[in-house]
């Protein structure tokens, strides 16, 4: 049985994969050594990493029904690309953030798996020549029972 947490993360991954400009999507943070193994045509690479649900509210279930938990799930999107031209670097960051922002807000309930999605982005990007990296974070509020996450 797939948990609701996993279903939300898979929905996030599918939305990222729908962005034509993104070439590779993985379920983990990419290390420098891993990035070096990708061909240039496999960039941009996105690592989709889900956190654990953080309970926000606990509601007593009716007689004979399980208690309900309202939790927040954080999912991080680590985006990596190659850009040697400093003039194009910031423009590429802007374009990629825009494409992902639009895709991740295109279905804020992830097919009714969660109540809402809120996105944030790290204010700065990092450069590890020849790679550039930045992070977008999604916060999903969703409901589950005490019988599963």
Q: What angle do helix axes 4-17 and 86-105 make, rounded to 10 degrees?
A: 130
**DSSP code, position 62:** P
pLDDT at 59: 84
User: What residues in the chain have per-residue pLDDT under 50?
Assistant: none
What per-residue confidence (pLDDT) applies to 60?
82
Q: State pTM to two decimals.
A: 0.94
CA distances from 116 to 70, 108, 129, 139, 146 (A): 12, 5, 37, 8, 20
């Amino acid at each position: 049985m797939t948990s609701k947490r996993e279903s939300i993360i898979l929905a996030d991954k599918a939305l990222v994969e729908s962005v034509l400009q993104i070439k590779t999507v993985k379920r983990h943070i990419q290390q420098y050594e891993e990035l070096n193994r990708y061909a240039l045509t496999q960039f941009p690479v996105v690592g989709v990493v889900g956190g654990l649900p953080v309970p926000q509210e606990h509601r007593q279930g009716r007689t004979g029904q399980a208690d309900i938990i309202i939790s927040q799930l954080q999912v991080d999107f680590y985006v990596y690309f190659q850009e040697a031209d400093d003039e194009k670097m910031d423009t590429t960051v802007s374009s990629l953030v825009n494409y992902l922002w639009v895709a991740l807000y295109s279905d804020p309930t992830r097919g009714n798996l969660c109540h809402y999605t809120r996105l944030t982005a790290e204010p700065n990007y990092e450069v590890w020549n020849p790679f550039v990296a930045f992070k977008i974070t999604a916060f999903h509020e969703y409901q589950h029972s005490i019988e599963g996450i």
